[in-house]
Structure 1
Amino acid sequence: MDLQSEKMEEIYDYCQGYDGEAITRHNDFNHFIHRIGLLLDAGFDTNDEGMKRIANKILSDQSEEGAFLSTLQISKNYGGTGLPESGWMLCDFPVLLYFLIKMGYEKDNRVKSAINYLINLSDQNGWRCKGSFERFRGPGRKEDHCPLATLYALKVFSLLPEYHNEPFVINGIDAICYHWQISTERKIYMFGMGKNFRKLKYPTHWFDIVHVVRVLVNFEYAKGTQEFKEMIDIIKSKKTQEGDFIPESVFTAYKGWDFGQKKSPSSSLSNVINEILDKV
């Protein structure tokens, strides 16, 4: 992937020096949990000693149940103390697990334990809003799935073909499809699938159409659904005559990158979308 080397070097150095800065909001795209994913897209892998150090840092901090831990700072309004605390939520733990599996640690017993725990955390409609903080309460209906947690969990299992036909994976895919079906009616946990969701955006950090299809395209069951086909058609309709894609929404954290503007094609965004379309 054509990601600017100088800017990537800054992210690489930041992730190397990460020392547990608290997550105060999960859409902080400058944070470690998101930036390690960009390193993977840029082609850094297990052959890189720095990436191994990052992996070992994640592996060294795990709950007894199996979740990899982060430092979180949850406000009292949502059941936290307002102070930095070690713990996990279903919108950070799977991101760390995905990184480790992509790095080739799926046979590590600590990673196996984390995979099993993520399976145990599933519900009949995907993955709900859960974490290690007993009093935490997200902004949604208790019985709803969390769209972001479900997407992140499916992202983990997209790397593990042996689980692709398991009921908990099918349930997660169905939850996303259901969300698409009711997209004109309501949001789920403040996540919508309307106009903003459908804008082309990169990196695939959050809940948007490119991220969702990038995950779902790895599952044969998902590719057979009408909802997936409709999302793919929307993306295809935005291809330029030259075969490129122009960002329609940007993360301000990436201002100055080729995907941090909305005026011209982005090679990074185009590469990701074309990789998706090659799998359809």
Structure 2
Amino acid sequence: MTNELLSLSEPWLQYAIRINLLDQNAGDLAALREEALLDSKIQRSLKIVADYHSTLVTNHKNPDLPIHKLLFLLDLGFDTDVPEIESAVAQLMEHRDKHGVYQSLTNIPKHFGGTGEDGFGWCLCDAPLLLLALIEAGVSYEKHIRQGVDYLVSLEKEQGFLCSVSEEFGTFRGPGRKDDCCPYATLVMLRLLSRIDGYRNSETAIRAIDALLDLWERSRERHPYMFYTGTDFRKLKAPAIWYDIVGVADCLSVFEYARADARFGEMVEIIRSKQDEDGLFTPQSVYQRSKGWDFGQKKTVSPYLSFLCLRILKRCEDRLPQA
């Protein structure tokens, strides 16, 4: 199966497959890495992150947001010895508030409780991703990351993480009851906690996992902040940036606690059931901005989507859901 996937993949994905699925040493893949960096799509992604604050953050579902592109590149196995990535990390770190939380450039209209002007601040649906990117980029945790993580964790409520924003964004919050768990904020907080030894098995992480699995279990009844866990949620889609089955399963599969839960096992079995006879996957939904990538179409196998799904299955292969 992996050989079939490699044969279909472009160099940038071959590089990620060899590191993530075949556990090969990145140091032995220098030639492939250089070829991958020359790919025109990777070059466009690097251009986006190199001018990090040039894109106003108004829609977190936009796969072309610099933070999503930066995490995509880091996840493939590239790092700060790539000049554009080094520049993006430096620019990201220029805007940090008194709590140690890094900020994005956005604009909250006055009628939604903001100032109506472009400015730096954070929402809980993006701040964890900035801290995650710094971790993935190898930035010092103690010096530059811990304070922000601890502050964001302090925002936890019993049912998960709510829609929260920095003081610069006034009274803004998403379209839901203020005491509801925000599924996406909870998801991105879990993505962050999954990379921190002191939090990966914490009660905070366990409660957040349970919050997401409860939404899955009660998908017909609960739709906080208009996040649904129904038909569209279950369609395979890449990249894994949003609250959908690939994005949620990719995050939860890192946690031993989640892997042992029958509800997560149901998600995994849905993904597994969509493999073709070669064990690969075809997108069932796409982002329009992903046109030109192998995951930007629904007619044939997507090597990158297959990589994401196979990585989820690999993490779960030694675990059986418990009833």
Q: When the two structures are superposed, what TM-score results if normalisation uses the length of structure 2? A: 0.83
Displacement, 1:33?
2.1
Q: Tell me the matched-pair count.
A: 280
- Which amino acid in structure 2 is aligned with residue 99 of structure 1? A
Q: 1:226 aligns with which of 253, 262, 268?
A: 262
Q: 1:122 aligns with which of 133, 156, 163?
A: 156
- Residue 83 of structure 1 pairs with residue 94 of structure 2: no
- Residue 196 of structure 1 pairs with residue 207 of structure 2: no
Q: 1:24 aligns with which of 54, 58, 61?
A: 58
- Residue 239 of structure 1 pairs with residue 257 of structure 2: no
Are 2:52 and 2:92, in contact at CA under 8 Å, matched by a contact in 1?
Answer: no
- Residue 165 of structure 1 pairs with residue 201 of structure 2: yes
| CA distance in structure 1 between the aligned counterparts of 2:239 and 2:138, rounded to whole angstroms | 22
| CA distance in structure 2 between the aligned counterparts of 1:143 and 1:168, rounded to whole angstroms | 17
Superposed CA deviations along residues 129-180 of structure 1, whole A, max 9, x for unmatched, are 0001231121011111110010000001111133122111111001101111
- Residue 2 of structure 1 pairs with residue 13 of structure 2: yes
- CA RMSD between the two structures: 1.5
- Which amino acid in structure 1 is aligned with residue 74 of structure 2? L
Are 2:53 and 2:104, in contact at CA under 8 Å, matched by a contact in 1?
Answer: no
- Map 1:132-171 → 2, pairs under 5 A: 132=166, 133-171=169-207
| CA distance in structure 2 between the aligned counterparts of 1:275 and 1:78, rounded to whole angstroms | 39
| CA distance in structure 2 between the aligned counterparts of 1:68 and 1:20, rounded to whole angstroms | 16
Q: After TM superposition, where is structure 1 displaced by more than 3 Å over at least 4 residues in a row? A: none
- Residue 38 of structure 1 pairs with residue 72 of structure 2: yes
| CA distance in structure 1 between the aligned counterparts of 2:281 and 2:287, rounded to whole angstroms | 16
Displacement, 1:106?
4.5
- Determine the structure 2 residue equivalent to 1:74: 108
Superposed CA deviations along residues 199-254 of structure 1, whole A, max 9, x for unmatched, are 00110111110110111011111111121000001000000001100000001011
Are 1:126 and 1:169, in contact at CA under 8 Å, matched by a contact in 2?
Answer: no
| CA distance in structure 2 between the aligned counterparts of 1:21 and 1:259, rounded to whole angstroms | 23
Larger radius of gyration: 2
Larger mean CA deviation between 240-249 and 110-119 belongs to 110-119
| CA distance in structure 2 between the aligned counterparts of 1:61 and 1:105, rounded to whole angstroms | 15
- Determine the structure 1 residue equivalent to 2:246: 210
Larger mean CA deviation between 55-64 and 196-205 belongs to 55-64
Larger mean CA deviation between 264-273 and 118-127 belongs to 118-127
The 3 A distance-change label for structure 1 pair 106 and 160 is farther
Structure with the bigger percentage of helix: 2
**Structure 2 residue matching 1:19: 3-state secondary structure:** helix
- Determine the structure 1 residue equivalent to 2:304: 268
- Determine the structure 1 residue equivalent to 2:32: none
Superposed CA deviations along residues 37-59 of structure 1, whole A, max 9, x for unmatched, are 22123321133233222111111
- Which amino acid in structure 2 is aligned with residue 93 of structure 1? A
The 3 A distance-change label for structure 1 pair 113 and 20 is farther
- Determine the structure 2 residue equivalent to 1:109: 143
Are 1:123 and 1:168, in contact at CA under 8 Å, matched by a contact in 2?
Answer: no
Are 1:173 and 1:222, in contact at CA under 8 Å, matched by a contact in 2?
Answer: yes
Larger mean CA deviation between 70-79 and 249-258 belongs to 70-79
| CA distance in structure 2 between the aligned counterparts of 1:230 and 1:77, rounded to whole angstroms | 41
- Which amino acid in structure 2 is aligned with residue 244 of structure 1? L
Larger mean CA deviation between 37-46 and 169-178 belongs to 37-46
Q: When the two structures are superposed, what TM-score results if normalisation uses the length of structure 1? A: 0.95
**Structure 2 residue matching 1:7: 3-state secondary structure:** helix
| CA distance in structure 2 between the aligned counterparts of 1:102 and 1:18, rounded to whole angstroms | 17
Q: 1:174 aligns with which of 197, 210, 221?
A: 210
| CA distance in structure 1 between the aligned counterparts of 2:225 and 2:182, rounded to whole angstroms | 6
